[in-house]
Chain A
Amino acid sequence: MSVLVYTESEQGKFKKTAFEVASYAKAIADQMETTVTAITVNAGDVSELGNYGVDKVLNVSNGDLDKFNANAYASAIAQAAKKEDAKVVVVSASADSKYLAPILAISLDAGYASNVVEAPSSISPFTVKRTAFTNKAFNMTTINTDIKVVGVSQNSYGLVESSGNASSEDFSPSLPSIGVNVQSVDKAKDKVTIADAEIVVSAGRGLKGPENWGMIEELAEVLGAATACSKPVSDLGWRPHGEHVGQTGKPVASNLYIAIGISGAIQHLAGINASKIKVVINTDPEAPFFKAADYGVVGDAFVVVPALIEKLKAFKAQNA
């Protein structure tokens, strides 16, 4: 018996969320007095997983899995769960993991709780805390099945280092027919994604036009941040839809969210309020976003943002 965790990698390197779900799996394994097995797909060096509590790694290397496929990945993870006699399977909240988890749950006859933000408060009954009503509440949920699938919210549990070494073995699951074939992938290279970013710099209609986004991109670059935008901005075509964050856009759960020229409509706040620290820059002191913010600057973005970029550059140079 063990706790199984699916640790995601991209181009052979683990994503940060892989270490978060490994840390989470370790917390469950400690409560259940068992070990953690990770399953990886086409990952490179897996020894890092040992630093986050993984005892054993099952490495799947298969060119057919270079492109993500929910059925194939779910099947591989289900076969690993059976091999390890896992009673709990932990996955992340990435787009891919949220895609495969329901399929995985059905194939294991497992109950599934997603958007989980804390280690289980009890193992029997298995009780977790998850977000509900788009982060406006939490729901304590028990999973009643013999096998449980837990989806951990990004940036909720954090990384917990532990000293240990992970043993590693090859694992060759049989793959099902996949049904959905990827024809092309359109992904910005060398750009931080909103899902993986520690810091997100987001701007709204207050910027007045797409030609003014240069300073937003520069601010993001100085901070190593991803760029995002409000819904009106993507509806107007000023920025690509993939940057739209909010209830009907992408969810954000970054450490720092900087909102510039965004008034803070409730639909926008619903999508971003899982972020830990929120900074608002807006000319209107009555903008509702200030009520949801940790830090605020009342001022003109066209003055504040360039000044902030200069000061941050100086700060970075000093703290490099």
Chain B
Amino acid sequence: MKILVCISHVPDTTSKINFTDGDTKFDTNGVQFVINPNDEFGLTRAMWFKEKQGAQVTVVNVGGPETEPTLRKALAIGADAAIRVNTEAKDGFQVAKELANVVKDGGFDLVIAGRESIDYNGAMVPGMLAALTNANFVTNCISLEIEGTTVTAIREIDGGKETVTTSLPLVIGGQKGLVEESDLRIPNMRGIMMARKKPLSIVEPTNAPAETNSIKFEKPEPKGAVTLVDADNLDELINLLHNEAKAI
């Protein structure tokens, strides 16, 4: 089985979010980039398929050279090879188009992406990629088992979960649950050394056009100070929630 794991290169959760160039660009100054958390669960599940079922695992990212450390980290965790599509990621559609090209060229049976990235949270790429490559698609996936071409997956739904069966080729929108947080791997020294020798190929883009454009960013209004209510005066809390916040 050939698995492609899509890796988004995203600002660490604790990063300060600021913008430059008249609020049109994300300010990367001082920002630490990481593997998108939802993708990391998928990568770790892919490593399980590699170790137990002999799958080959390739990681891919659409982005400039600055994203390579994130791909190297995925290699250090254990992926066999990496691909970087050499173009700036503009929107979900453009990224999905470029990835579809990689999937077709590489003949991948299974694509594991995160259900969404933590920067744009669009939840667009996995579904668009599935549609563009005529693959089956399961998102919000919290369990994935594959025997031959038969797939059993569990996906989270509003208020519960459902078990589905499907077949390869398949695109997964993964999240926590695919593996547990405690199963995530921190690259060790040997992994980091080996990652330097693993292939990281740079693929030129097909120059798929974006369908949406980011015009400008805004930050939310600063939050007012909290109104503290004394623990002995909960009637006041109820009064505030009812009359001021109109929330109960």
Contacts and interface: CB of A to CB of B under 8 A. Distances in A.
A242 B93 contact: no
Interface string B102-142: 00000000000000001111111111101110001111101
Contacts of B215: 127, 139-142
User: How extensive is the interface on chain A, given as a class?
Assistant: 35 or more
B162 A186 contact: yes
Contacts of A34: none
A297 B158 contact: no
B127 A113 contact: no
A230 B210 CA distance: 37
A292 B225 CA distance: 8
Interface string B233-246: 01101101110010
A235 B217 contact: no
A86 interface: no
Given A191-B159, A292-B223, A144 B181 contact: no
B118 A295 contact: no
B226 A280 contact: yes
Max count, chain B CB within 10 A of own CB: residue among A112, A183, A276: A112
A70 B127 CA distance: 9
B127 A103 contact: yes
A112 B237 contact: no
Contacts of A123: none
Nearest to A257: B247
A185 B156 CA distance: 10
Nearest to B223: A292
Interface stretch (A41-49, A50-58, A299-307): A299-307
Interface of chain B, main secondary structure: mixed
Interface string B158-198: 11111111110000000111001110000000000000000
A197 to B, nearest CB: 10
Contact of A112 (B163, B211, B220, B234): B211
Interface in A161-211: 179-188, 191, 193-196, 199
Interface in A268-304: 270, 276-277, 279-280, 290-300, 303-304
Interface of chain A, main secondary structure: mixed
B123 A98 contact: yes
B47 to A, nearest CB: 18
Contacts of B139: 70, 98-99
A98 to B, nearest CB: 5
B51 interface: no
A40 B3 CA distance: 37
Nearest to B14: A266
A195 B159 contact: yes
B37 interface: yes
A26 to B, nearest CB: 23
Contact of B140 (A99, A103, A110, A188): A99
Given A102-B92, A296-B227, A297-B229, 15 more contacts: A102-B96, A102-B126, A102-B128, A138-B218, A140-B216, A141-B212, A184-B162, A188-B159, A249-B176, A277-B241, A290-B226, A291-B226, A294-B245, A308-B238, A311-B238
Interface of A: 68, 70-71, 94-96, 98-103, 105-107, 110-115, 127, 129, 131-145, 179-188, 191, 193-196, 199, 223, 231, 235, 241-242, 244, 247-250, 255-256, 266-267, 270, 276-277, 279-280, 290-300, 303-304, 307-308, 311-312, 315, 319
Instruction: List the 8 closest A-B pairs by CB distance, nearest first.
Output: A102-B127, A299-B231, A187-B160, A111-B211, A193-B159, A106-B131, A195-B158, A256-B247
9 contacts: A96-B158, A114-B122, A133-B118, A133-B119, A139-B218, A184-B163, A231-B181, A256-B245, A291-B226
